Structure 1
Amino acid sequence: MSAHVQSHGLVDVGGVDHVAVARTSRVWGWWFVAEHRIRAMRSYVASAVLIGLGSPFLFLIGLGVGLGLLVDANRGSEGVEGVPYLVFLAPALSMAGAMQTASQENTYGVFGGFKWFPMFFAMNGTPIGPAHIVIGFQVAVLVRVLVSLVAFSLVMVLFGIGDPLGALLLIPIGLLMATTVGFAVMSWVATQTEDRGQLSFIERFVVVPLTLFSGTYFPLETLPLFLQWIGWISPLWHAAELGRGVLYGAPLPPAMLLLHVGFLAAVALVTCLLSIRTFRKRLDK
């Protein structure tokens, strides 16, 4: 047995090479975390799929068709940005749904991983480190976000809303925005050690205002100038502008394209690093 250990690493009586397992975990630890989280989602997979598939129909029919009829009737052939209101609204609703899902998963899910069911501490006791946990958790969140984005895109294709290829391109845009929102929420939630009701703050005072003031239901420039800054710093506005560009060809100069993508990528990178730093501090105590 000692010769076997010396040649192959630390091997237990079951024949498991722990050195090899540790080496694999250091490379693929993020995927192990994502797989664990995805498996945990099975407990509410039915409701997640039902909401993910049903929301596009409800939102697009209720707001796009109902409210859209009134808007189009008042604006005539002009529409909004030269297209029917439903076409203008659809990409923003898709992005708003992705933002809400990413925010919800990273609020109570992250807090619970430290406090209520401290799985992050258990993971950190293995070769899996804080960076693996942070990235793997986000990958799992994106899997759930993907369901909503695919549903929205398929509804747009079925109802002939915008360009079919553009509707499919909304999926990678939504995933990028969800990554930005997810890491941003995670970087704050990871600093919270007690639940005093502040977790609901994200939904009430961040997600809802961003949805209202990010050019979701009307062009951002129609807002007073003192409110437009909310849209400028909102991942939702940047993603919605990209979505409108690909869905129906809304004007999108190269400089603005770089600005929108660069903003989302930069915020995602910075908040990812902040999340890793906070996780490391909490897990290594």
Structure 2
Amino acid sequence: MLFLAAINVICSFCTFFLGIYVFRTKVTVVPLRLRFSFLVLTLAATLWVIGSGMRNFIPLSLAQQIPNWTLGVTVLIPFFLLEVVRGATNRKHPSRGIRFAEALLLSYLLYSAFACKMIVVTGNISVYRPLLAYHILIAYAAFYCGSAVLLLISTIQKTEGNRKFMALIMTIGIAYGLCVALLFIYLLPIFGIFKGYLSSIGVLGWAIHWAIILVDYGALEISQVPSVLDERPILLKVFAPSLRLLQRFFCPNDYSERLRKERAALVEQIMLYDLDLRENANLSRQARYERVGERFALFL
């Protein structure tokens, strides 16, 4: 039992770590608002997964409070999920009137959750009776998450280039997370296999997809890739080959254009670095060539 709980906790904190990593990454050109939304989104997902996966360890004295508080955390997930998608797809944010309505809805749901008016636990902690606020939460989550998916699909269909590729990777991340969640929360229980805590693997997989593409937000601008060199985020160093393979398959024209410009930019960087060594360092030709080779070994 402790081993299973450890899987849940490790996957959850890795998810939150990715949120912190994206938020603090300096070489990316992702807007601060987008990075902050992703940070809050991963934090909320982490708390939700931990709260759901650790329910068997909850003392009876908190059997009513913890499930409701866990649902309170989920209130933030659909909102910030849509915020991240809006920012990534460059869509306009809602008007002040809609923001005010959203604030009222979120306030009502958060109050209902932390006042333990979302569900009533009856007997076993996994058995509960939903109240009005719970049904409103489900409808709100379905609408916001559905809107986020539709925005991504619309971006894939109507745009080209880097933004289309970003929307594609984000859609793959959502699809992966949903498939894993459905497997462990819905399909396996039909056959008497209860492994709901493993849905945290799906949440982590979704977070990895989104973190990679958000960190790669700036690197998708081809001319920026060689200029950052060793300062590239570790996520790009690890997953860049996979990203380029996907781009080559789904967006071959964009991939070819990216490759052509990237090579040209790389040659420019090599020539400028060699010129700097020639003018400012007292090195032989062979030593200069070796220095250049060491500097650009990652790209050669």
Between the two structures, name the one with larger relative contact order (CA 8 Å, sep ≥ 6): 1
Larger Rg: 2
Same fold (TM over 0.5): no
Q: TM-score if structure 2 supplies the norm length?
A: 0.29
